[in-house]
Chains A and B, each alone.
Chain A
Amino acid sequence: MHDLLSDQAPWWIVGPAFGLVVVGLVATLNERIGILGGFSALVEAVDGKRLGWKAFFLFGLCGGAALYATLAGGFGHSGYGWLTRTFTGDARLLVAPILVGAGALIGYGAKTAGGCTSGNGLGGTSLGSPASFVATATFMATAIGTAFVLRWLGAV
């Protein structure tokens, strides 16, 4: 089991698994997959709002990730890629605020777009939502363009 899970899962396993989740949520709960809704539900719970299915989907997601880590041999963490390779020593303290700032921007963008990468890219497009196709094309094109520009600049 450990050897199997230590290698990155191939697309022909991950794709159908994600598809199963997308179709399964629609078939059983008549709901669209999304991660952002779970985070929103947790924030709204501070005001006493009852946690709905989206929050429990998020709890399950964390549990599934923890189960993978356990079966694959532990919770080893190699850092945050370029961030932790670049900011070393005392500068490592900058990593946390950068991640918090980036997370806030992602949250703002996802809320504005009416869904996150999962909600639009997996849930919305599979249900044929034109808005989700536009949102997915926009964030993928932006991310791909940014990655190429940063590499061209030699930043990462």
Chain B
Amino acid sequence: MSRVRLTAALFGAVFGFFLVWSGLSDPDVIRRMLLLQQA
């Protein structure tokens, strides 16, 4: 795997990890966020 691809994959992994941990993959969390409630 080239350096560019490996770097992209590593940054993607960090992004994916924190994206799910933040709850932004949960429709109910997104809905509460859009209703300006405590998500």
Bound state CA distance, A64 and B23, in angstroms? 14
Residue of B nearest to A33 (CB): B15
The size of the chain B interface, using a CB distance under 8 A, is: 31
Q: Is the interface of A mostly helix, strand, loop or mixed?
A: helix
Which stretch, A79-87, A103-111, A124-132, touches the partner chain B? A79-87
Q: Which of B1-39 contact A (CB under 8 A)?
A: 1, 4-23, 25-29, 31, 34-36, 39
Establish whether residues A68 and B17, one from each chain, have CB atoms under 8 Å apart when the complex forms: yes
Q: Is the interface of B mostly helix, strand, loop or mixed?
A: helix
Report the number of A-B residue pairs with Cβ-Cβ less than 8 Å. Answer: 121
> Which residues of A are at the interface with B, using a C-beta cutoff of 8 A?
5, 8-9, 13-14, 17-18, 20-21, 24-25, 28-29, 31, 33, 38, 51, 53-54, 56-69, 72, 80-83, 143-144, 146-148, 151, 156
> Which residues of B are at the interface with A, using a C-beta cutoff of 8 A?
1, 4-23, 25-29, 31, 34-36, 39
Given A9-B18, A29-B8, A63-B16: 4 more A-B contacts, CB < 8 Å: A14-B18, A61-B12, A63-B9, A67-B16
A-B contacts, 17 listed (Cβ < 8 Å): A9-B18, A14-B18, A14-B21, A21-B11, A21-B15, A53-B8, A60-B8, A60-B12, A60-B14, A61-B15, A63-B12, A64-B19, A65-B19, A68-B17, A68-B21, A83-B27, A156-B31
